[in-house]
Amino acid sequence: MTTHAAPASTTSHPHALDFARAWDYSPAPETAKITIAPRYGLFINGQFTNPPNTFETINPATEETLSEVSLASAKDVDRAVAAARAAFPKWAALPGVERAKYLFRIARRIQERSRELAILETMDGGKPIKESRDVDLPLVAQHFFYYAGWADKLRYAFPSSSFAPVGVCAQIIPWNFPLMMAAWKIAPALACGNTVILKPAETTPLTALRLAEIFQEIGLPPGVVNIVTGDGSTGAALANHKDIDKIAFTGSTDVGKRLAKVAAQRAIPITLELGGKSANIIFDDAPIDQAVEGIVSAIYFNQGHVCCAGSRLLVQEGVVDEVIAKLRIRLQSLRVGDPLDKNTDVGAINSKMQFDKINEYLKIGADEGATLEQPNACTLPKKGFFCRPTFFTGVQQSHRIAREEIFGPVLAVMTFRTPDEAISKGNNTPYGLSAGVWTSKGSKIFETAGKLKAGVVWCNTFNQFDASSPFGGYKESGFGREGGLHGLRPYVRL
Ligand code: NAI
Ligand code: MG
């Protein structure tokens, strides 16, 4: 990737070396070739079907069509639900130790095929290969391993209760972590003896279909997991189906609220993991260099397509100039471009729709009077959807860019004076998925983290995940937890 010298606005800083040039590597594209079929059917009852209606999924970094996948109709969904229903009694009755064996096999096969899966995840969704390879895939395998470990130990998870699986689970997932969201949903469901119909997002269906191949390879009994690709209409048909026993959804708050109504009317359980506008709080006693690195992983990681992204930066007044100056320098050296290049830090925005939404917010922020900065000077590819890492200063809490989820590499920077002000500003949002706290004082960490209304609070780090750690939101970020012991609870009746 070739780069320009940093723009004039950023060279005035004394440390503003020409980082973009200093880091000008040769391209290092991933060279392994993977095969993608021209068309994919649905995965129902252990078989791939071949229905007539298809839609294209593209590579958002090149705008080229990768494949055509099936648009499942209500009838197709009906068949998938029937398959899951038929498979349920036998799967539920299987001893936990037997279900565990299947989950272990899935986990191992994911590890064996991880390079191929990582490349496909990057091609279909636009995330940098170093993230899909080093973050997503290891976590996907870890999730299956982790819940395989629970499958025969459920009586220790729910001591002194008798428990049973919930039944047939409708699971609808988004495009930001396609395989990871599939793993978060499928692994605990199967461990507890449920059967599943999974609906991947329309822009990133391909890796879920490879997962279906893995289910075939390891001999998972037919119907235990069914995968129906499609759009919102497919998701709606699944969520409204009369023979499902549970809904699990990750995605937008709007759709989540609609599904909550559906579940309420039918009196079936639902777990929701929705949007966020998480605060990343930097106190003046924080290790600033590390905090700047933390900002990068909080909001520029995965192009900001992260529900728990630290999209509001709250900096204590005394250090705001230093933080901004260092952030500016850091953003110069981030490499934006070809997601298949191993040096790329920021890949492609997932879809045209999301790209337009982000650009709309860049305009809204400027119109609201905030100051936009994009210090990065990479030459962006001519095709594809790319957005430079962006931050806004001069942001008011009332600005839309400080209140609404943008879901892109766009940070709103605000300041505070006292710890109380940091907490009240941090909590001043309808969401509550995550938060970050940066300080060198342990007592301040506990005090602040305890008062933040967020499901996860990262201290002197950001965006760290582990299968054993529960994840989920407060307020409009949803309810229910995924991961850890807590992640089993939505999949059993006590
Ligand atoms: P979305 O909520 O429409 O899509 C998520 C999933 O729900 C997809 O599989 C989709 O096909 C399905 N779906 C859509 N309409 C449905 C319906 N009526 N019934 C059942 N399923 C339905 O999210 P979208 O439109 O892709 O993104 C819009 C915004 O949502 C983003 O800009 C972002 O702010 C937020 N979002 C949040 C995510 C999170 O992880 N919390 C993930 C993706 C998006
Ligand atoms: Mg795609």
Nearest CA residue ID for atom 13, ligand 1: 232
Q: Is the CB of 354 under 6 A from ligand 1?
A: yes
Catalytic residue from among 169, 192, 307, 387: 307
What whole-number distance in Å separates Cα of residue 215 and Cα of residue 361? 41
**Does residue 447 sit within a domain?**
yes
Active site residue 387: no
Distance 69 CA to ligand 2 centre (A): 10
* Closest-approaching ligand to the CA atom of 201: 1
List the residue whose alpha carbon is closest to atom 26 of ligand 1: 174
Q: Which ligand is nearest to the CA of 348?
A: 2
pLDDT tens readout for residues 343-385: 999 999 999 999 999 999 999 999 999 999 999 988 999 999 9
CB of 274 closer than 6 A to ligand 1?
A: yes
- 489 C-beta closer than 6 A to ligand 1: no
How much is the pLDDT for 10?
42
Please report, in angstroms and rounded to a whole number, the separation of the first and last CA atoms in the chain: 56
Query: Is residue 55 a part of any domain in this protein?
Result: yes
Q: What is the DSSP letter of 251?
A: S
Residue 105 lies in a domain: yes
**477 C-beta neighbours (distance < 10 Å), count:** 28
pLDDT at 2: 37
Mean pLDDT computed over 108-131? 98
Query: Does residue 244 sit in the same domain as residue 329?
Result: no
Average pLDDT over residues 293-318: 98
The verdict on 295 and 397 lying in the same domain is: yes
**Span 42-58, pLDDT tens digits:** 999 999 998 789 999 99
User: In the structure, what pLDDT confidence band is assigned to residue 481 with cuts at 50, 70 and 90?
Assistant: very high
Two structure tokens written together for 276: 């966020």
Residue 262 and residue 293 in one domain? no
Check if 407 has its Cβ closer than 6 Å to any atom of ligand 1: yes
Mean pLDDT, all residues of the chain = 95
- Do 268 and 370 sit in the same domain of this protein? no
Atom from ligand 1 closest to the CA of residue 200? 9
Residue of 124, 255, 308, 471 to mutate, ligand 1, most atoms within 8 A of C-beta: 255
CATH number at residue 344: 3.40.309.10
Domain that holds residue 438: 279-459
DSSP string computed for 180-227: HHHHHHHHHHHHTT-EEEEE--TT--HHHHHHHHHHHHTTPPTTSEEE
Q: Are residues 258 and 236 in the same domain?
A: yes
Looking at the structure, do residues 87 and 124 belong to the same domain, yes or no? yes
- Centroid of ligand 1 to alpha carbon of 405 (angstroms): 13
Ligand 2 ion local residues (Cβ < 5 A): 57, 124, 203
Percent of residues, the chain, with pLDDT higher than 90? 93
Centre of ligand 2 from the C-alpha of residue 111, in Å: 23
Please report which confidence band the pLDDT of residue 8 belongs to, taking 50, 70 and 90 as the band edges.
very low
Does any ligand 1 atom lie closer than 6 A to the CB of residue 307? yes
Residue 260 in contact with ligand 1 by CB distance below 6 A: no
Give the mutation target among 227, 250, 252 for probing the ligand 1 site: most ligand atoms within 8 A of CB. 252
Which helix (H) or strand (E) element contains residue 22? helix 19-22
pTM over 0.85: yes
Verify whether ligand 1 is closer than 6 Å to residue 171 (CB atom): no
Unique residue bearing structure tokens 């949007």: 275
| pLDDT for 418 beyond 50 | yes
Assigned domain for 27 exists: no
Q: Tell whether 424 is covered by a domain.
A: yes
Which of 232, 235, 210 minimizes the C-alpha distance to 121?
210
Number of domains into which the chain is organized? 2
Query: Do both 366 and 444 map to the same domain?
Result: yes
Per DSSP, 477 falls in state G
Q: Whose CA is nearest to atom 16 of ligand 1?
A: 232
Domain of 163, CATH number, reads: 3.40.605.10
Residue 402 shares a structural domain with residue 304: yes
Tell me whether residue 91 is in a domain.
Answer: yes
- On whether both 221 and 293 belong to a single domain, the answer is no
Residue 232 · residue 255 · CB < 8 Å: yes
| Residue 249 within a domain | yes
Instruction: For ligand 1, say whether the CB of 251 is within 6 Å of any of its atoms.
Output: yes
Name the pLDDT band for 6 (thresholds 50, 70, 90).
very low
Same domain membership, residue 229 and residue 329 = no
| 178-209: pLDDT as tens digits | 999 999 999 999 999 999 999 999 999 999 99
> What beta strand segments (E) does 255-311 contain?
270-273, 279-282
Q: Tell me, yes or no, whether 390 and 320 share the same domain.
A: yes
**Do 61 and 126 touch, CB atoms closer than 8 A?**
yes
Active-site residue flag, 307: yes
How much is the average pLDDT of 222-246?
A: 98
Residue 32 lies in a domain: no
Task: Read off φ and ψ for residue 5, nearest 5 degrees.
Answer: -65, 155
Band the pLDDT of 316: cuts 50, 70, 90.
very high
User: Is residue 233 located within the same domain as residue 320?
Assistant: no
- Cα of 98 to ligand 1 centre, how many Å? 35
